[in-house]
């Protein structure tokens, strides 16, 4: 039948008049044939019936196309956010390099690179499974994941399309970028005296086990602290609330900060860091330029770190949350920098650029947990106070606890991270809590149940859960990483020899001049007994060498 003859006789269950009406509505021959004479089932019988089936099919096709676009947009958003988070590795590397002495610069840069390298393998083999792994259709447990090791299930579901949005490649990549950031936090705390073997082993242990367990607790729908664990009558398992830690003030920063504290305390201070009377000898970093560059790179990466933690963007509701998080992140960083600038001026009567950088980072760490559930003015408050928390914690860590942390990793990420975790208990806005967590553990009655900040009239269970998260992360990370560093130190694998430390790790580890450098020193730094620990006096050689090195470095302030 030619196109001219089409409609001149009945087709399937459609009469000639029905076919003529469908042609008049603009349907083509193939569409009409599919409606009137389908390969399976009965065709439509009237114009109205045919048009109804046609419109329903067109609607389904449009919805499918829109769904594909939505998935593509969400995946692209998460991947791009992961790219931004990964650029923070460069920020950490540059910042650490600027904070230490020039003789160890190459060494710390290589170790920062290894954080990403070793962390990628550890998180691939074990970490991602411990964080989010569960068998399809089954539950894991509140403590640790137990499925998808080495991305076995991700490979399967990506091929079949089953649960791709939940278990696809993009999810692993984004979560790995966070893991790499956590691992890198420790690098500066043990800088200038940690062995390569200990460093690589620590990076693997933290990324493959210690950090993923914390992730599972707070972010996985099975975790005991998670606001997404709604198996108890539709509410979160713990206090019917769950922890508010949107982007990881606790999960990422506290975990890395407490690990840094354990490492710095157990490995001991750098030679010459403390005088015989216990007073602190200043050991300035060699480049304030690198510190500033690292700070801006980290701030830039934070715009993937915090907004990306919403995981999706392809709806007006999701886009609203993402854009608000970007604003609160920017304001908290700015408030932290200004707060620290004036705090240092009032205390030392100097405009301190390095301190301002620390203030910016403190503000960013502080807002990371609450960025999605607070007003912009509240972000300014948490950032400004975060900078002061950093200053106090840094003073106590160095001057009271006698822990030598070259980059103040614990003060910045551990102490300020804890402040960031607690902050939602005070100023989590009711309507934002419903918007972000309404479909999960807080329930749609979050406002009626007063599950929001105390200063808005909420009850104390939200703050109590935040306190529990702080204590749980500190206890778990402190025990696991403290035990790890203690064992490594006990067997003599944690710290380099005094000769290597005094000469500089760049020469002894990264050039062919290590042997000649040792001979030039005449072997006078062979003894480990002159390492400076709290309560021990440095040798004359150690004091002299440290002073000589300081004269060659630029003052970053």
Q: Are 52 and 22 in contact (CB under 8 A)?
A: no
Note down the domain range covering 283.
80-155+166-509
426 vs 462: CA distance, rounded Å: 9
**How many C-beta neighbours within 10 Å does residue 96 have?**
27
With both helix axes pointing from N to C terminus, report the angle between 255-267 and 461-490 in degrees, rounded to the nearest 10. Answer: 30
Q: What is the mean pLDDT of the chain?
A: 86
**Rounded average pLDDT over 305-311:** 96
Number of domains in the chain: 1
Compute the Cα dihedral for 64, 230, 177, 373 and give only its sign: positive
Alpha-carbon distance of 207 to 124, in angstroms, equals 9
175: helix, coil or strand? helix
Q: Which residues pair with 495 in a beta bridge?
A: 194
Asked if the structure places residue 444 within a domain, the reply is yes
In a domain, 534, yes or no: no
Average pLDDT over residues 87-100: 94
| Average pLDDT for 376-391 | 98
Per-residue pLDDT reduced to its tens digit, 466-491: 999 999 999 999 999 999 999 999 99
514: in domain = no
Q: What is the pLDDT of residues 33-72, one digit of tens each?
A: 888 888 787 888 888 888 888 888 888 777 777 777 888 8
Contacting residues for 338 by C-beta, under 8 A, at least 6 apart:
359, 384
pLDDT in tens, 141-164: 899 998 889 998 888 777 666 677
467, part of any domain: yes
Rounded Cα distance, 548 and 233, in Å = 67
CB 14 within 8 A of CB 45: yes
Q: What are phi and psi of 235, to 5 degrees?
A: -115, 165
Residue 538 lies in a domain: no
Where do we find the tokens 């929001």? 452
pTM comes to 0.84
pLDDT digits (tens, 9 = 90+) for 525-556: 333 333 333 433 444 334 433 333 433 333 33
pLDDT of residue 527: 35
Helices 152-160 & 169-185, crossing angle to 10 degrees? 150
Once rounded to an integer, what is the mean pLDDT over residues 323-349?
96
- One DSSP character per residue, 284-320 reads --S-HHHHHHHHHHHHHHHHHHTGGGG---SSHHHHH
104 in any annotated domain: yes
Q: Which two tokens stand for residue 97?
A: 């390099």
Asked whether residue 500 is domain-assigned, the answer is yes
Q: What percent of the chain has pLDDT over 70?
A: 88
Give the domain CATH number at 270: 1.10.3430.10
- For 248, 433, 437, the CA distances from 372, given in Å and listed in that order, are 12, 8, 10
For residues 283 and 398, the answer to whether their CB atoms sit within 8 Å is: no
Residue 439's pLDDT is what? Answer: 56
Q: What is the radius of gyration, based on Cα positions, of the chain?
A: 29
**% of the chain beyond a pLDDT of 90:** 62
Helix (H) or strand (E) holding 480: helix 461-490
Q: State residue 4's pLDDT score.
A: 61
At 206-264, the pLDDT tens digits run 999 999 999 999 999 899 999 888 776 777 788 888 899 999 999 999 999 999 999 99
Residue 322 lies in a domain: yes
């Amino acid at each position: 039948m030619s196109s001219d003859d089409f409609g001149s006789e009945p087709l399937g269950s459609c009469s000639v008049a029905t076919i003529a009406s469908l042609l008049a509505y603009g349907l083509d021959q193939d569409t009409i044939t599919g409606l009137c004479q389908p390969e399976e089932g009965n065709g439509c019988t009237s114009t109205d019936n045919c048009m109804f089936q046609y419109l329903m099919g067109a609607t389904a096709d449009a919805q499918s196309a829109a769904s594909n676009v939505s998935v593509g947009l969400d995946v692209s958003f998460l991947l791009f956010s992961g790219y931004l988070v990964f650029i923070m590795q460069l920020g950490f590397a540059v910042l650490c390099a600027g904070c230490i002495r020039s003789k160890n610069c190459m060494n710390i840069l290589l170790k920062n690179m290894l954080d990403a390298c070793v962390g990628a393998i550890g998180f691939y083999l074990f970490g991602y499974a411990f964080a989010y792994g569960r068998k399809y259709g089954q539950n894991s447990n509140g403590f640790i994941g137990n499925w998808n090791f080495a991305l076995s299930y991700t490979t399967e579901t990506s091929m079949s399309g089953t649960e791709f949005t939940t278990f696809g490649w993009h999810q692993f990549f984004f979560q790995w970028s966070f893991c790499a950031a956590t691992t890198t936090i420790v690098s500066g705390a043990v800088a200038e005296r940690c062995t390569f073997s200990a460093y690589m082993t620590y990076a693997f242990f933290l990324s493959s086990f210690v950090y993923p367990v914390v992730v599972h607790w707070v972010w996985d729908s099975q975790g005991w602290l998670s606001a997404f664990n709604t198996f108890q009558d539709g509410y979160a398992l713990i206090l019917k609330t769950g922890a508010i830690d949107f982007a990881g003030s606790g999960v990422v920063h506290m975990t890395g900060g407490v690990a840094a504290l354990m490492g710095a305390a157990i490995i001991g201070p750098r030679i010459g860091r403390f005088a015989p009377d216990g007073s602190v000898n200043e050991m300035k970093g060699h480049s304030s330029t690198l510190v500033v560059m690292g700070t801006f790179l980290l701030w830039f990466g934070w715009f993937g770190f915090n907004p990306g933690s919403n995981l999706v963007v392809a709806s007006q509701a999701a886009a609203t949350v993402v854009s608000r998080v970007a604003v609160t992140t920017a304001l908290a960083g700015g408030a932290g920098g200004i707060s620290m600038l004036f705090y240092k001026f009032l205390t030392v009567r100097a405009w301190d650029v390095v301190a301002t950088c620390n203030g910016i980072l403190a503000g960013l760490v502080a807002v990371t947990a609450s960025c999605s559930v607070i007003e912009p003015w509240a972000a300014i408050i948490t950032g400004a106070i975060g900078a002061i928390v950093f200053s106090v914690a840094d003073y106590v860590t160095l001057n009271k606890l006698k822990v030598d942390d070259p980059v103040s990793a614990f003060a910045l990420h551990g102490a300020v991270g804890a402040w960031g975790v607690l902050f939602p208990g005070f100023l989590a806005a009711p309507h934002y809590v419903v918007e972000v967590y309404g479909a999960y553990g807080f329930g749609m009655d979050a406002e009626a149940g007063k599950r929001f900040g105390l200063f808005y009239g909420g009850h104390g269970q939200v703050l109590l859960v935040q306190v529990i998260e702080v204590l749980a992360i500190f206890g778990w990370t402190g025990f696991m990483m403290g035990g790890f560093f203690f064992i490594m130190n006990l067997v003599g694998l944690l710290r380099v020899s005094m000769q290597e430390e005094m000469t500089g790790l760049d020469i002894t580890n990264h050039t062919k001049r290590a042997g000649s450098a040792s001979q030039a020193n005449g072997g006078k730094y062979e003894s480990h007994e002159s390492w400076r620990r709290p309560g021990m006096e440095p040798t004359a050689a150690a004091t002299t060498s440290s002073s000589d090195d300081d004269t060659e470095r630029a003052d970053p302030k």
